[in-house]
Amino acid sequence: MKDFYRVMLGKGSMYSQECREQGFIGANFDIQQDLTGHLPEDWRDFNKEFIPVYLQANPGKSKIGAGLSCGFLWSICKKIQVGDIVLSPDGKGKYFVGEVQSDYRFVPGANQPHQRQVHWFDETIDRSEMTEALRRSTGSIGTVSQISKYREELEGLIKGEAPKPVLISTDETIEDPVVFALEKHLEDFLIANWSQTPLGREYDIYQEEENFGQQFPTDTGPIDILAISKDKQVVLVVELKKGRASDAVVGQIQRYMGYIAEEIAEEHQQVRGVIIALEDDLRIKRALRVAVNIDFYRYEVKFDLRKV
């Protein structure tokens, strides 16, 4: 089954028209060498080889930023498969839509030398036609984001059909999918209102140019939010459970924290975790009692219908 990706073509979509006219998607990231033969199946192996290359070309960047940039580059060059569908914003409220036609190619001297050939459709998608959830996902900061969970809506939009709202949860660590459905925008809401939360007083969501700590990739799945303390001494892993979470989330966030500690954090930085969910049941409390550096926050949402 084909996947769907949102791909930014340069900062502020500055290369979107060039890419559409010449039939490709591409990236740069200051790595000026042919990656043919350097695109392993496991993105971690790619990052180990090219994070030092990126940091040498960008000595002022952080290791976190280098990890994100290399991950985005690998996604464009390797993860996206022939036949997958890409959406690229044109910077004017519309999205170009195309099908990937080729494997990786290197074009030295190009603005975006790391390329994939794309057949761009005549049809475009207007941002105003998308559901709010899809607008938020396609508008997130970052060079590449997978949006396959909106496959049904996207296929309809490409055909010119109006979207139909769907409320589902396939997350096995969610014990209340009905509440999850009502809270499906929790992550975007938290991102938009981060500065007004208790966490926002001490931490900033990681951001470096177009790199952003939402859905930060790891080898066991994406971290919902990656934040860093204002003094840059603590890296915070935030896991959101939209509904009542099971105790399995404790092991999940520990895996994420272990990855950050081993692969991303600087030697002087600590790694902490936060779980945010609707309820904290006995199993969560028992698990957290012996979990080091993990805090739990409850959120509250009110939904009323009042006859007038």
Residue 102 near residue 15, CB atoms below 8 Å: no
Task: Give the pLDDT confidence score for residue 303 in this predicted structure.
Answer: 59
CA distances from 200 to 167, 190, 217, 227, 278 (A): 29, 10, 22, 9, 19
Task: Write down the mean pLDDT value for the chain.
Answer: 85
Instruction: Give me the pLDDT at residue 186, please.
Output: 73
The fold of the 177-298 domain, in CATH, is Trna Endonuclease; Chain: A, domain 1 (3.40.1350)
Q: Which pair of structure tokens corresponds to residue 284? A: 């969560």
Q: What burial letters (b/e) apply to 242-277, b meaning 16+ CB within 10 Å?
A: bbbbbbebbebbbbbbebbeeebbeeebebbbbbbb
Element (H, E) at 201: helix 198-202
Predicted confidence at residue 141, as pLDDT, reads 62
Does the structure show a pLDDT above 80 at 36? yes
- pTM of the full structure: 0.72
Other Cβ atoms closer than 10 A to 279:
14
DSSP letter, residue 11: G
Give the whole-number percent of the chain exceeding pLDDT 70.
Answer: 87
How high is the pLDDT of residue 122? Answer: 92
Instruction: Identify the CA nearest to 260 among candidates 199, 307, 217, 299.
Output: 217
pLDDT band of residue 20 (cuts 50, 70, 90) is very high
Among 52-66, 83-97, 213-227, 261-275, name the one with the lowest average pLDDT. 213-227
Among the residue ranges 40-49, 67-76, 118-127, 214-223, the one predicted with the least confidence is 214-223
Which pLDDT tens digit goes with each residue over 8-19? Answer: 999 889 999 999
User: H-helix or E-strand containing 222?
Assistant: none
Contact between residue 25 and residue 116 where contact means Cβ atoms under 8 Å apart: yes
Token pair, residue 8, equals 């930014």
Six-digit token pair at 108? 């030295």
Which of 212 and 33 is assigned the larger pLDDT? Answer: 33
Fold annotation for 4-158: ph1033 like fold (3.10.590)
Residue 242 has pLDDT above 80, yes or no: no
Question: Span 264-274, mean pLDDT?
Answer: 90
CA pair distance 267, 271, nearest whole angstrom = 11
Per the model's pLDDT, the better-predicted residue between 208 and 64 turns out to be: 64
Q: What is the pLDDT of residues 179-229, one digit of tens each?
A: 444 445 677 778 878 888 899 999 999 887 666 777 787 877 788 899 999
Residue partners of 33: CB distance under 8 A and separation at least 6: 53, 106
Contact 116, 102 (CB under 8 A): yes
Q: Which amino acid is at 203?
A: Y
| Per-residue pLDDT reduced to its tens digit, 129-183 | 988 778 877 766 678 888 888 888 899 998 887 655 544 444 554 444 444 444 4
> Are the CB atoms for 85 and 116 separated by under 8 Å?
no
| Burial track 78-94 (b if 16+ CB lie within 10 A, e otherwise) | bbbeeebbbbbbeeeeb
Domain coordinates of the chain in residue numbers? 4-158, 177-298
The answer to whether the beta carbons of residues 25 and 100 sit under 8 Å apart is: yes
SS3 66: helix
CB 146 within 8 A of CB 4: yes
Q: Flag whether pLDDT at 117 surpasses 90.
A: yes
Helices (H), 43-146: 43-57, 63-74, 132-138
